Amino acid sequence: MWAQTPAGMADPAYRVLLVWTAMIMGGAFGAVLPLLTLYALRVTWRDWPYRAHWLLLVLVGAAFSAAFYTLTSVAQFQDWQWRFVWTAAPALAIVGLLDHRVLVQAMGGRHDVAGETRSEHVDTI
């Protein structure tokens, strides 16, 4: 079974880390992703339509949460894990960049520093 996984996963340290994590988290191991997905749904609902891009996280989280509960072996878990990382990381980066855009728009867009006068209270802190 371990021979079918990507290189490096047959390492005993990897197995110990995987088992240790599952033991520490207990039954909560399978509840983490659905809880994070519910948080993303809450943020989307609360800040609609400005943060509609959080729906991407809701979709990714819902798809991988549903897939998690269909796993029946360690090999399937490792395949799920790799697919999740390679899907969730770009989704988080995209949502983060779009959140940054919302922040910049909320702060008034671009700011011209060259045309400003210096405040009299700048050096008093």
For the chain, the structural domain boundaries read: 33-107
Please tell me the distance from the alpha carbon of residue 85 to that of residue 93, in angstroms, as a whole number: 12
pTM of the model: 0.63
Model pLDDT for residues 62-103, shown as the tens digit of each residue: 998 888 888 888 788 888 888 988 999 999 999 999 999 998
In this predicted structure, the answer to whether residue 24 has a pLDDT above a threshold of 60 is: yes
Q: pLDDT for 111-124, tens place per residue?
A: 555 556 656 666 66
Scored b (16 or more CB within 10 A) or e, 101-114 reads eeeeeeeeeeeeee
Q: Evaluate the omega torsion of the peptide bond into residue 6 and state whether it is cis, within 30 degrees of 0.
A: no
Degrees (nearest 5) of the Cα angle 54, 86, 43? 15
pLDDT > 70 in the chain, percent: 67
The whole-angstrom separation of Cα 29 and Cα 68 is 10
Place of tokens 């990714």: 60
CA atoms of 56 and 41, how far apart (whole Å):
10
Alpha carbons 40 and 50: distance in angstroms, whole number = 14
Q: How confident is the model at residue 2 (pLDDT cuts 50, 70, 90)?
A: very low
Establish how many alpha carbons lie within 13 A of residue 6's alpha carbon, considering only the half-sphere containing its beta carbon.
9
